[in-house]
Amino acid sequence: MTDAESHAEKGMAHQFEDLDQQHDADMLGIWVFLITEIMFFGGVFAAYAIYRWMYFSAFDGGSHILDIRLGAANTIVLLGSSLTMVLSVRAAQTGNRRSTVLFLIATMILGGIFLGVKGYEYHQKFVEHVVPGLDWAPEGKTLALLAPGGVQHAQIYFIFYFAMTGLHAIHMIIGMGLLLWLVLRARKDAFTPHYFAPVEVVGLYWHFVDIVWIFLFPLLYLIGGRY
């Protein structure tokens, strides 16, 4: 038996000595990647923090244009998808192929609902003409909400709204692709209780994207309050 054959545990790559080392490396790899994502989103959060401090009333006004109930509901949907995701990882860990696949599909469905609602919200922004650079002409009630803080500075708020939720949505779409890939692999019995690292890795990515939204919701929707 060659070196390669004796090491051929299911799913192990040649540069590792055993599955444990590979699992450790995979976990460390995804965590390092997640801190690069913390710094990536961190940059735009930092810029947001500066402008919110500089133009609070403009941000306040802009925030009032958003639909708080939709935002809250979407937050719960996304948290639900995190639940189904971790249940999927747990199912893989216990060797339950059917549950792994079903929970992955549930995660995709909930993610899809989130994106659908987001799409509707974006559409609403066009209806209200508050899309900087493409359709910025607030009027009527919308204008009345934005005027106190300054309409020009409110544009900055909406730029950040679209930039931050847009980047978040792109990450979610990538996540949906990864989930689909996992479903296809899981159905072909790629995972065992000793090798389910890809499910864990995608899970960690998905939870991170959820955490970004956990902060986006209050920072974009709940500024200043609704009293």
Partner 1 sequence: MSHPIVPQKTYILVFLCLIGLTILTTGVAFIDLGAFNTVAALVIAFAKMSLVILFFMGVRSSSGLVRIILIAGFFWFALLVAFTMTDYHTRTWTPVPQAWSSGAPPTHP
Partner 2 sequence: MSTATLEPRVHAPRNYLNADYGWKSWLFTLDHKRIALLYLISVTFFFLVGGSFAVLMRIHLTEPQGALVQPETYNKLFTLHGVIMIFFFLIPSIPAVLGNFLVPLMVGARDLAFPKLNLLSWYIYIVGGMFTLYSAIAGGVDTGWTFYTPYSSTYSNTQVTAVAIGVFVTGFSSILTGLNFIVTIHKMRCPGLTWFRMPLFLWSMYATSLIMVLGTPVLAITIFLLALEHLFHVGIFSPALGGDPLLFQHLFWFYSHPAVYIMILPAMGVVSEIIACFSRKRIFGYSIVAFSSVAIAVLGFLVWGHHMFVTGQSVFAGLIFSLLSFLVAIPSAIKVFNWTATLYKGSISYEAPMLYAMGFIGLFTMGGLTGLFLASLATDVHLNGTYFVVAHFHYIMVGGAVMGYLGGIHFWWPKISGRKYPDMWAGIAAVIIFIGFNLTFFPQFILGYLGMPRRYAFYPAEFQVLNVMSSAGATVLGVGYLIPLIYLIWSMRYGPIAEPNPWGATGLEWTTASPPPTENFAEIPVVTEEAYAYGPKEGSGD
- CA dist., res. 219 & res. 161, Å (int): 10
151 touches partner 1 (CB under 8 A): no
Half-sphere exposure of 142 (CA within 13 A, CB side): 19
The interface mask with partner 1, positions 104-123, x = CB under 8 A, is --------------------
Least separation in angstroms between CB 76 and partner 1:
6
155 touches partner 2 (CB under 8 A): yes
Residue 188 vs 227, nearer CB to partner 1: 227
27 touches partner 1 (CB under 8 A): yes
**Number of DSSP helices (H) and strands (E) in the chain, helices first:** 8, 2
Name every residue whose Cβ is closer than 8 Å to that of residue 35 and which is 6 or more positions away in sequence. none
- Which residues within the stretch 4-43 sit at the binding site for partner 2 (CB under 8 A)? 13-17, 21, 24-25, 28-29, 32-33, 35-37, 39-43
- CA dist., res. 222 & res. 220, Å (int): 6
What number of chain residues touch partner 1 (CB under 8 A)? 50
Least separation in angstroms between CB 163 and partner 2:
6
The interface mask with partner 1, positions 2-21, x = CB under 8 A, is ------------------x-
Residue 72 vs 144, nearer CB to partner 1: 72
DSSP code, position 196: -
In 60-214, beta strands by DSSP E: 130-131, 135-136
- CA dist., res. 71 & res. 208, Å (int): 18
Give the residue from 135, 159, 130, 134 showing the smallest Cα distance to 145: 130
Which of 118, 153, 168, 171 binds partner 2 (CB under 8 A)? It is 153
Which of 2, 5, 134, 225 binds partner 2 (CB under 8 A)? It is 134
Buried b / exposed e over 17-52, threshold 16 CB at 10 Å, is eebeebbeebeeebeeeeeeeeeebeeebeebeebb
What residues make contact with partner 1 under the rule CB under 8 A? 20, 23-24, 27-28, 31-32, 34-35, 38-39, 42-43, 45-46, 49-50, 53-54, 68, 72, 75-76, 79-80, 82-83, 85-87, 90, 93-94, 203-204, 207-208, 210-211, 214-215, 217-219, 222-227
